[in-house]
């Protein structure tokens, strides 16, 4: 699902615009969405269906159904860090660091 969304996002854009592969970006969103759902089980509501990607709702459903298994598998991971992963940092590190520098100035 995230792979399909990323392909659609990149449609008609040269691959040189992106430092990360479509697969890597899809994995980032999958991990990020699951971590966000672990930290906030009720993040999304039915009214959010028209405003967010389907993959976010699926992640929340996966967490609601397999929370214990996921927490066991990720027991050594920092969930807050995983939930804070940024797409722009993956696809364009230089631009990401420029944004961070402007924020801290």
Counted domains in the chain: 1
Phi, psi (rounded to 5 degrees) for 86: -115, 130
d(CA 64, CA 74) in angstroms, rounded, equals 15
13-36 pLDDT tens trace: 776 677 788 888 999 999 999 999
How many other CB atoms are found less than 10 A from the CB of residue 39?
14
Q: Is 33 exposed, middle or buried (0-12, 13-18, 19+ CB in 10 A)?
A: buried
What pTM was estimated for this model as a whole? 0.69
Quote the domain boundaries for residue 87. Answer: 2-104
Cα-based torsion angle of the residue sequence 81, 28, 41, 76 in order, rounded to the nearest 10 degrees: -50
Tokens of 24: 């890597």
Quick one: how far is CA 11 from the chain centroid? Answer: 19
7-18 pLDDT tens trace: 888 777 776 677
| Start-to-end Cα distance in the chain | 38
């Amino acid at each position: 699902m995230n792979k399909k969304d990323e392909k659609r996002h990149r449609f008609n854009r040269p691959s040189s615009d992106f430092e990360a592969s479509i697969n890597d970006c899809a994995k980032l969103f999958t991990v990020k969405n699951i971590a966000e759902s672990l930290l906030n089980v009720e993040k999304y509501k039915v009214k959010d269906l028209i405003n967010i990607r389907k993959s976010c709702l699926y992640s929340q459903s996966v967490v609601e159904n397999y929370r214990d298994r996921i927490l066991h598998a990720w027991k050594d991971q920092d969930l807050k860090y995983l939930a804070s992963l940024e797409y722009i940092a993956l696809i364009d590190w230089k631009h990401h660091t420029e944004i961070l520098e402007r924020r801290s100035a």
